[in-house]
Amino acid sequence: MDFDAIVVGSGISGGWAAKEFSEKGMKTLVIERGHHVEHQEDYVGEGLGP
């Protein structure tokens, strides 16, 4: 497979870079070594008030 950009790490900077590349029409691959995170399951404080 061919990609225009490869982003290593999906933290704040990597995620933003991937967003910018893909919005410009670039075929982008993000590589992350951490575990897959599920919203509403893996965030302990999600949905709780302040």
What single-letter amino acid sits at 46? E
**The pLDDT of residue 39:** 81
At 15 the pLDDT is: 94
Return the residue matching tokens 């949905």.
47
Q: Give pLDDT tens digits for 8-41.
A: 999 899 999 999 999 999 999 999 998 888 888 8
Looking at residue 46, its pLDDT comes to 84
What pLDDT sits at residue 16? 97
Q: Which residues contact 8 (CB under 8 A, 6 or more apart)?
A: 14, 31
Q: What CA–CA distance (Å, rounded) separates 7 from 16?
A: 10
Between CA 11 and CA 38 the distance in angstroms is 15
